[in-house]
Chains A and B, each alone.
Chain A
Amino acid sequence: MSDITLDAAARAPEAAPRSAPITAIGPIAWARQNLFGSWWSTAVTLVLAYLIVRWTIGFVEWAFLNAIWEVPVVNGQAQTQACREIKGVGACWAVITEKHRFILFGTYPFEQHWRPALVCLLFVGLYVVSAMRRFWTWHLVPIWAVTLTVIGVLMWGGVFGLPYVPQERWGGLPITLILSTFGLAMAFPLAILVALGRRSKLPAIKMLCVLYVELIRGVPLISLLFMASVMFPLFLPEGMNIDKLLRAQIAITLFAGAYLAEVVRAGLQALPRGQYEAADAIGLSYWQKTGLIILPQALRLVIPPLVNTFIGFFKDTSLVLIIGIFDLLTAGKTAIVEPAWQGFGIEVYVTIGVIYFVFCFAMSKYSQDLERDLNRHRRR
């Protein structure tokens, strides 16, 4: 045996390692495998590539090359003839240039627009802080309480030399953020209570929670919003009146509470029985058991679906358009009611779509990353 090895080593001096053939590694091999793997795959690739190139060129021409970014304004009237001439060929971004303040902030006093702008930044900051895992402690509660108070002060004003702005004049992006954030902040505790109630051994409480969740989940959000706008005034004693925004906020909270409760319940069910029994065995009371053992683990299990529910909920706040509350979408729709700007809906909707997309996409990416992080121990 050893003879042969020695012999072979003597005859062939070590050859320089050759790189693998170009058809096996590198971009060409990758393309061969992933784009032109078979006749069928090649055909699909070619057709798709053709369509993508064509649509991209068409879109770039419409959105950039042929677009009009500004139009002259005479006596406060925008002159949109130039835009009308290129309709269908080029975009009229002038509607955004002209109306972006209105779309973002609605009828909020113009010289005070820095306040809603700051509010939007505060909201974004709040989301970023809540998303960081190092802040996942009880510290979040005071952070939220303080930020939401500051936001309230900024929007209403009336103190610290800020002029008072009534709620009817709020509008645009801040309303969308307020509806979804406050709705969430209120719906979440409600959802936890309902989810616990639905898992409770006490029949009356369980039945109430099941009834609430199933009734809300069986009807569309619109019917709840209609209820808030036309039926709520009947529910209250004479003379007592609740603001329209607050009524919508209550409807959205009740709606979100039912959906979040189902997500939380899934987490409670996924927790191994042993955790409940161990907590009972060391003599914890129901609330100690729930607060110290069950909820911290159960909520951590359902963070990704919770974020998905938040996304759905953020999108659903746009439904307040139907009862005439001035959120981002309503502001956009109102901006093109003016005769000069009629017919430029596509540009406005694309812009609003981009804003919604940025928020939802950030949440969705975050949820995906988090899911991968939290499941890291499960993969080998």
Chain B
Amino acid sequence: MSSSAADPRFASAGPPKRPLRLSWGDERVRGIFWQVLVVGIVGTVIWWLWSNTVHNLEVRRIATGFGFLSREAGLPIGESLIEYDPSNTYLRALTVGVLNTLKVAVIGIVLATILGTVIGIARLSNNWLLSKLAGVYIEVIRDLPLLLQLLFWYTILQGLPGPRQALNPVDGVFLSNRGMKLPFIEWTAAHWWTLLAMVAGIALTWAYARVMRQRQYADGQPRKVWPAGLALIVGVPLAVWVAFGAPFTPDIPVLRGFNFRGGITVSPEFFALLIGLVTYTAGFIAEVVRAGIQSVQHGQWEAAQALGLRRGEILRKIVMPQALRVIIPPLTSNYLNLTKNSSLAVAIGYQDIVSIANTTLNQTGQAIEGIAIIMLVYLTISLSISLFMNWYNAKIALVER
């Protein structure tokens, strides 16, 4: 490097720059011409659409802008993570929608990953029956439109008996056409502190495992992490809970008149959407997982067997870390698909951002703003998931020289 800097002959890399000739024979002139042409055409089309839109809006006397966001919404929302009533503003209604989208996406991603991994591993099982069954599941679920599956699940849930004849598979759990009722406890400040202690415990365990791994790298001795982990994740929160006087009042749903009182409710809309999204995406994730595990060379399995590891251990310690590198990129796009597919909620009446923005644009006539909001929300979510998964992918990537 230093010699090339010193030697004037190597100062500029590549061929010497020719002066720009104004002729069709010059590649750069052609390049500029085509770019100007294409940008010109696209620009003209956009300008034409824009001017039409402005004109149409004037003719129809539709005011543009996001001023409507601070007006009273007056639209009822069935389920919401934050306090909401119809007298709140459109902005708050849309926020509820975004939170509902995020709720189903996050829960869906977690469940679909678990189910998909299990099915993907089952597909590779030595047991012929299990492997074939997983194969049939993957093939069937991927060949049916998601919207059809959602309608199917929703129809099944609506076909359940009413609250008075609700199915009662386990004590305290009721399944009826009003959704699923689950028992819970009366939530107090003590429970928040316990939860906080548990989160802190998980973080501490993670840090502890890291330190122990560093020590193992130094002297080669494996160290047990789980006793300390158990103490931090279960013991400390338990101590906090006891210190607050161990409040525990079960909140079990009971039939009062025509409906249930108490417990937590999973609405049929949310339940159908969640089942549909999870089973559908799990079919795709299973294929990704299968391909990832198969991408690990057979010699890795054999070498691990030669070391005397059991099948589960081999999968966990040898194969999965290598397979993850192949799995992560397609897994990311499946997460993005699940999030985007959650927009189908509008077909079965779960009030996500698309559904609420759609109602908003029907009520206010602000079509452009409504659709812009939907697109912006999804672009933001997509971009965040991509960024996170890219970061994770870079972290686990093979460090090469």
Q: Does A357 contact B129, Cβ atoms closer than 8 Å?
A: no
Q: Does B358 contact A319, Cβ atoms closer than 8 Å?
A: no
Q: Does B127 contact A311, Cβ atoms closer than 8 Å?
A: no
Partner of B344, one of A217, A219, A233, A319: A319
| Cβ of A366 under 8 Å from chain B | no
Residue of B nearest to A48 (CB): B129
| Cβ of A235 under 8 Å from chain B | yes
Partner of B144, one of A41, A231, A319, A353: A353
| Cβ of B368 under 8 Å from chain A | yes
| Cβ of A45 under 8 Å from chain B | yes
Contact string, A191-219, partner B, CB cutoff 8 A, digits 1/0? 00000000001111100100000010111
| Cβ of A159 under 8 Å from chain B | no
| Cβ of B173 under 8 Å from chain A | no
Q: Does B139 contact A361, Cβ atoms closer than 8 Å?
A: yes
Closest beta carbon of chain B to A111's beta carbon, Å = 30
| Cβ of B346 under 8 Å from chain A | yes
| Cβ of A234 under 8 Å from chain B | yes
A234–B57 Cα distance when bound, in Å, is 7
| Cβ of A28 under 8 Å from chain B | no
The B-contacting residues of A in range 1-44, CB under 8 angstroms, are 34-35, 37, 41, 44
Contact string, B18-49, partner A, CB cutoff 8 A, digits 1/0? 00000000000001001100110010000001
| Cβ of B133 under 8 Å from chain A | yes
Q: Does B145 contact A329, Cβ atoms closer than 8 Å?
A: yes
Binds B, one of A65-73, A125-133, A293-301, A341-349: A341-349
| Cβ of A147 under 8 Å from chain B | no
A217–B59 Cα distance when bound, in Å, is 33
Residues of A within 8 A of B361 (CB): 230
Contact string, A214-248, partner B, CB cutoff 8 A, digits 1/0? 01011111110011001101111110000000000
A346–B382 Cα distance when bound, in Å, is 34
**Interface core residue of A49, A205, A221 (most chain B CB under 10 Å):** A205
Residues of B within 8 A of A204 (CB): 35, 38-39
**Interface core residue of A34, A205, A226, A346 (most chain B CB under 10 Å):** A226
Q: Does B143 contact A311, Cβ atoms closer than 8 Å?
A: yes
Residue of B nearest to A344 (CB): B155
**Interface core residue of A201, A203, A230 (most chain B CB under 10 Å):** A230
| Cβ of A322 under 8 Å from chain B | yes
User: A201-B31, A353-B152 are contacts. A315–B367 as well, Cβ < 8 Å?
Assistant: no
The A-contacting residues of B in range 352-401, CB under 8 angstroms, are 354, 358, 361, 367-368, 371, 374-375, 378-379, 382-383
> Across the A-B interface, how many residue pairs have beta carbons closer than 8 Å?
150
Q: Does A208 contact B152, Cβ atoms closer than 8 Å?
A: no
Residues of B within 8 A of A223 (CB): 343, 354, 371, 374-375, 378
Q: How many residues of B contact A (CB 8 A)?
A: 52
Residues of A within 8 A of B147 (CB): 318-319, 321, 329
A357–B136 Cα distance when bound, in Å, is 12
A233–B152 Cα distance when bound, in Å, is 33
User: A205-B35, A218-B383 are contacts. A333–B151 as well, Cβ < 8 Å?
Assistant: yes
| Cβ of B6 under 8 Å from chain A | no
A49–B127 Cα distance when bound, in Å, is 12
A37–B151 Cα distance when bound, in Å, is 41
A215–B38 Cα distance when bound, in Å, is 19
Closest beta carbon of chain B to A44's beta carbon, Å = 5
Residue of A nearest to B284 (CB): A312
Residues of A within 8 A of B343 (CB): 220, 222-223
Q: Does A364 contact B130, Cβ atoms closer than 8 Å?
A: no
User: A238-B59, A318-B145 are contacts. A349–B155 as well, Cβ < 8 Å?
Assistant: yes
| Cβ of B209 under 8 Å from chain A | no
A223–B361 Cα distance when bound, in Å, is 13
Q: Does A205 contact B347, Cβ atoms closer than 8 Å?
A: no
A201–B32 Cα distance when bound, in Å, is 11
| Cβ of A352 under 8 Å from chain B | yes
Q: Does B42 contact A208, Cβ atoms closer than 8 Å?
A: yes
A223–B55 Cα distance when bound, in Å, is 24
Q: Does A44 contact B152, Cβ atoms closer than 8 Å?
A: no
Residues of A within 8 A of B143 (CB): 311, 315, 356-357, 360-361, 364
User: A220-B340, A360-B144 are contacts. A226–B374 as well, Cβ < 8 Å?
Assistant: yes
Residue of A nearest to B140 (CB): A357
Residues of A within 8 A of B31 (CB): 201-202
| Cβ of A98 under 8 Å from chain B | no
Closest beta carbon of chain A to B75's beta carbon, Å = 17
| Cβ of B156 under 8 Å from chain A | yes
**Interface core residue of B144, B148, B155, B383 (most chain A CB under 10 Å):** B148
The B-contacting residues of A in range 239-271, CB under 8 angstroms, are none
User: A218-B383, A223-B343, A311-B143 are contacts. A346–B59 as well, Cβ < 8 Å?
Assistant: no
Residues of A within 8 A of B168 (CB): none
Q: Does A315 contact B38, Cβ atoms closer than 8 Å?
A: no
| Cβ of B213 under 8 Å from chain A | no
| Cβ of B341 under 8 Å from chain A | yes
| Cβ of A316 under 8 Å from chain B | yes
Residues of A within 8 A of B305 (CB): none
Residue of B nearest to A46 (CB): B129
Q: Does B127 contact A227, Cβ atoms closer than 8 Å?
A: no
Q: Does A231 contact B128, Cβ atoms closer than 8 Å?
A: no
A230–B371 Cα distance when bound, in Å, is 9
The A-contacting residues of B in range 103-154, CB under 8 angstroms, are 125-130, 133, 139-140, 142-148, 151-152
A221–B347 Cα distance when bound, in Å, is 13
Closest beta carbon of chain A to B280's beta carbon, Å = 10
A37–B343 Cα distance when bound, in Å, is 45
Q: Does A227 contact B53, Cβ atoms closer than 8 Å?
A: no
| Cβ of B8 under 8 Å from chain A | no
Partner of A45, one of B42, B55, B129, B148: B129
Q: Does A322 contact B139, Cβ atoms closer than 8 Å?
A: no
The A-contacting residues of B in range 42-88, CB under 8 angstroms, are 42, 49, 52-53, 55-57, 59
Q: Does A329 contact B148, Cβ atoms closer than 8 Å?
A: yes
A356–B148 Cα distance when bound, in Å, is 10
Residues of B within 8 A of A37 (CB): 126-127
| Cβ of B159 under 8 Å from chain A | yes
Q: Does B35 contact A202, Cβ atoms closer than 8 Å?
A: yes
A37–B379 Cα distance when bound, in Å, is 50
Q: Does A346 contact B155, Cβ atoms closer than 8 Å?
A: yes
Partner of A235, one of B38, B53, B156: B53
A352–B147 Cα distance when bound, in Å, is 12
Residue of A nearest to B155 (CB): A345
Q: Does A234 contact B56, Cβ atoms closer than 8 Å?
A: yes
Residues of A within 8 A of B146 (CB): 315
Which A-B residue pairs are the 8 nearest by beta carbons?
A360-B143, A345-B155, A34-B128, A220-B340, A315-B145, A220-B343, A204-B35, A318-B145
Show 8 A/B contacts (Cβ-Cβ < 8 Å), sorted by A: A34-B127, A37-B126, A45-B130, A208-B38, A230-B361, A238-B55, A315-B146, A343-B159
Extra inter-chain contacts (14) besides given A349-B152, A352-B148, A360-B142, CB under 8 Å: A41-B127, A49-B129, A208-B39, A208-B42, A219-B378, A219-B382, A223-B343, A230-B367, A234-B52, A311-B142, A322-B347, A350-B152, A353-B152, A360-B144
